[in-house]
Amino acid sequence: MIELKTPAEIQRMHVAGRFVAEVLSEIGRLADVGVNLLDLEHHVRGMIKRRGAQSCYWDYAPPFGKGPFRNVICLSVNDAVLHGLPHDYTLRDGDVLSADLAVSIDGWVADSARTVVVGTAAEEDLRIIRATEEALEAAIEVARPGNRLGDISAAIWAVACDYGYPVNTEFGGHGIGRTMHEELHVPNKGRAGRGLKLRPGLTLALEPWFARTTDQIVYDPDGWTIRSADGSRTAHSEHTVAITEDGPLVLTRRETEKSAQNA
């Protein structure tokens, strides 16, 4: 069942969203050559505890995972792109790190992801990160009342095509609100004008992710970490978005993004 949120409920999700944005900004600041993924994991645990929030990942056990997940953030490196299980790995110069976080505050959830380069950035890595960010902004732009779910998918796909990146449709965006995953799957590939008509109160986590040269995925032995099947590098961008009468409201926008938009 699809639950439309009231303006007051959307504001409560926005509280969670601001905290998620704060944590991901902190991860971007801390991710550096010589930093261990487990140190990042424990730093986020501390932030969550101090805020009185709840991790949506801890004890998460969906059908596709080898659960339960016993971490509070997904950290995926290089060819890993989704559900990366934090482990004893020290970041190296040029690594690509995707961080994905979902938390609940007072019963309302927000979910967001970002990809950063550690140390020296290769242009091809910056390019694929930029592609996911542009695809996310294109998806947000069409998340308006009267449009359809397929318009969001088509917007993401169009950016991927412009950059020449293939698109996997097994994992994509989703409904969100009282729980991390609610009704509606939002594929990263689709046709405009198709699907559910978007209405005010609908809240979605939109998350384009691309691999450089494949749309196929493989799983690590840990049962969680998803990688590109051919080992090509990846990127992932995600925001929680509320559809309102006035258009899309991004609930997980980071301060650096706000500054860039206002520049």
- Binding site feature residues: 83, 100, 111, 174, 181, 207, 238
Residues annotated in the binding site for a divalent metal cation, as ranges? 100, 111, 174, 207, 238
What is the C-alpha separation between 146 and 136, in angstroms, rounded? 19
What is the C-alpha separation between 21 and 169, in angstroms, rounded? 26
Chain Cα centroid distance, residue 3:
21
Q: What is the crossing angle of helices 255-262 and 7-30, to 10°?
A: 100
Is residue 123 packed enough to be buried (19+ CB in 10 Å), middle (13-18) or exposed (0-12)? exposed
Q: What share of the chain is helix, strand, coil (3-state, %, to 5)?
A: 30, 25, 45
Tokens matching residue 110: 């927000």
Instruction: Give, as one character, the DSSP assignment of residue 220.
Output: -
Residues annotated in the binding site for substrate, as ranges? 83, 181
Which residues are CB-neighbours of 164 under 8 A, at least 6 positions away? none
